[in-house]
Amino acid sequence: MDRNQIENLIDDLRGKKIAMFKKDFLLTWEKTVPEIEATFLVADILRAMRDSNISPKVWDSGIAVSNFRDNSTRTRFSFASACDLLGLYVQDLDEGKSQVAHGETVRETANMISFLTEAIGIRDDMYLGEGDRYQREVGKALDEGVKAGVLPSRPTIVNLQSDIDHPTQAMADFLHLVHYFGGLDKLKGKKIAMSWAYSPSYGKPLSVPQGIIGLASRFGMNIVLAYPKGYDLIGDVVEMSKKQAAESGGSFSYTDSMDEAFKDADIVYPKSWAPYDVMLRRVPLLHAGDKEGLKELEREALANNAKFKDWECTEEKMKLTRSAGKNSPQALYMHCLPADITGVSCAAGEVAASVFDRYRDDTYREASYKPYIIAAMILLGKFERPAELLESLLARGRQRTYGNF
């Protein structure tokens, strides 16, 4: 992308009516469509600047705090990459090695980590009914700290996955779709199959499929949500997605047949998740540290999963789909990664090895958008006039790397 193209993206951003300054990014459906579009634009601008060897650093100093209350590879490194891209040093909050382990309150922790902090990334997806609430509790504590004059400014919070939504994942997935199909407007009318798939593990969060249906329903897509009976998502999110789909000119339907979901689909997203009921039952066991109770719940959940081993993204199922273009005779396969690949990472899983191998590079490209999405979320939360800021960075033209040695 040349300089003129970057300037055109900045002009497009300038035309968006947004109110993201001093706002956290917790759920995509709390943002307006122009704000979603602005996030995509900023992500593309930052990526284009880096690719053009123009430094997009907006801070000379400052830190970002990462608080991962669950395991992570892609999102952890994406957050670190995003913060470094903008000029921030990342400090991980390890609650087991902090005073949190000794009973320090959320209010105290939030203030103590934020004196020179510009952004806080939080992953809290294990405890159904608590992750989103915790992120908002941190936000309230920060508001109180600023009001009391304890904090000089309010760090922006980015949801790196909660029990309800995984906005950095969903937004990265959709920016991939935007580039694959040639524009956000090109997604209207496309059929996307968000399908449960078999996994030999249990306890996978609901937030990935919920994030996908919550975002796809904003842009006129025809969504088919597929899962075996009993593998429900959070009802409020499903109902909201139905309403959004109708308002955007798309559609929303449910089926308990993976084949039906895949039929004539343009995009397929086969991904395992735990039933809502299982995730709910797991919470008190986790809090109590009930290892035997958790083992029994796991045995029960895995036995039920095993009834649906045929819910696998196979070559036969892919033949039911339609061409997604780009010389592909079949739909675009998507996954947040890591996928459970049959014969590779497990004996039987979400996707056949031959299917995954064919789309491996696509899934890696899909993941590559996440650092830029996170950086865009931070920038838009911290700067009132993002277009002018990016314009000044472009005019400054400071090289990210020096020379060609």
Domain at 3-165+370-396: CATH code: 3.40.50.1370
Mean pLDDT check: name the lowest of 100-114, 139-153, 279-293, 367-381: 100-114
pLDDT range class, residue 404, cuts 50, 70, 90: low
State the pLDDT at residue 98: 73
How far is the C-alpha of 284 from the C-alpha of 136, rounded, in Å? 21
Cα atoms in the 13 Å half-sphere on the side-chain side of 118: 24
Distances (CA, A) of 209 to 22, 98, 148, 191, 270: 28, 33, 39, 15, 9
Check pLDDT > 90 for residue 388.
yes
Q: Would you give the DSSP letter of residue 290? A: -
- What is the residue whose two structure tokens read 């006039």? 385
Give CA angle at 221 (199, 386), nearest 5°: 100
Three-state DSSP at 58 gives coil
List the alpha helices (DSSP H) in 67-226: 74-86, 106-112, 131-147, 167-181, 207-216
Q: Do domains 3-165+370-396 and 170-367 have the same CATH topology?
A: yes
Q: Is the pLDDT of residue 97 over 90?
A: no
What is the per-residue pLDDT for 405? 65
What is the rounded average pLDDT for all residues in the chain? 96
Number of helices and strands in the chain (H, E) = 15, 11
pLDDT for res 275: 96
What is the predicted pLDDT for the residue at 103? 78
Position 95 scores a pLDDT of: 83
Between CA 106 and CA 233 the distance in angstroms is 29
Give tens-digit pLDDT for 335-345: 999 999 999 99
Q: What is the pLDDT of residues 244-302, one digit of tens each?
A: 999 999 999 999 999 999 999 999 999 999 999 999 999 999 999 999 999 999 999 99
Q: Given a cut of 90, is residue 326 above it in pLDDT?
A: no
Q: pLDDT per residue over 9-57, tens digit each?
A: 999 999 999 999 999 999 999 999 999 999 999 999 999 999 999 999 9
Q: Distance between CA atoms of 221 and 265, rounded to whole angstroms?
A: 11
Beta bridge partners of 120: 65, 157
What pLDDT digit, counting tens, does each position of 357-379 carry?
Answer: 999 999 999 999 999 999 999 99
Residue with tokens 């696998």: 312
- DSSP annotation of 149: T
Residues in the chain: 405
Which residues have CB under 8 Å from 283's CB, separation 6+? Answer: 127, 128, 129, 130
Domain limits, the chain: 3-165+370-396, 170-367
pLDDT, tens only, 216-247: 999 999 999 999 999 999 999 999 999 999 99
Q: How far apart are CA 237 and CA 214, in angstroms?
A: 7
- Give the pLDDT confidence score for residue 328 in this predicted structure: 87
Q: Which residues is 346 bridged to in the sheet?
A: 342
CATH 3.40.50.1370 assigned to domain 170-367? The reply is yes
Strands laid side by side in the 117-124 sheet:
89-92, 63-68, 117-124, 156-162
